[in-house]
Copies of this chain bind each other. A is one copy, B any other.
Amino acid sequence: MNKQLSLDVSFAALADPTRRAILARLALGEATVMELAQPFEMTQPAISQHLKVLQSAGLIVVRVDGTRRPRRLAKQGIEAMDQWLAMLRHAMEKNYDRLDQVLSAMEHPRKGKKK
C-alpha cells in the first residue's frame, strides 16, 4: 500500500528552491494551490507540477475540498530524509575528530615523505 518512496526522489524534490519554499509555507499549515502560487513569479501550472513532484516524493499529501486541493506536509517522507542525514552526521562526528583529523594534520611533510 505504501509506495516505494526512494530517497532519490525525496532529495531531488528538495533541490529546487521553489519546492523548499512551498514546504516552508506548508510547515505553517495547509494551503491551496493558488495560495502557494501567489508569492512566486510563476504560472499556476508550474506550481501544480512542483506539487506533483513533492507528492511523488512523499513529502506532502492532498485533501479534496470542492474544486480546491489543499496540501499539507507528510510526516513520513520528511522523516526518512531526516534520518538518513542524521545517520551520516553521527558517523561523521564519530570519525571526524579522530582518525581523519590525524591524517589531515600531516598535511605537508616538507621533503621527506613517509607513508
Q: Which residues of A contact B (CB under 8 A)?
A: 7-9, 11-12, 14-17, 20, 23-24, 27-30, 63-66, 70, 72-73, 75, 78-79, 81-82, 84-89, 91-92, 95-96, 99-100, 103-104, 107-108, 113, 115
Contact = CB atoms under 8 A, between A and B. Distances in A.
Given A11-B20, A63-B103, A65-B108, 9 more contacts: A9-B15, A11-B15, A30-B100, A30-B103, A63-B104, A65-B115, A72-B96, A72-B104, A82-B89
Contact of A23 (B28, B78, B88): B88
12 contacts: A8-B17, A11-B14, A11-B15, A20-B84, A27-B92, A63-B107, A72-B96, A73-B95, A78-B88, A78-B89, A82-B82, A82-B89
A103 B89 CA distance: 36
Contacts of A104: 30, 63, 72
A78 B85 contact: yes
Nearest to A90: B27
Q: Is chain A's binding surface mostly helix, strand, loop or mixed?
A: helix
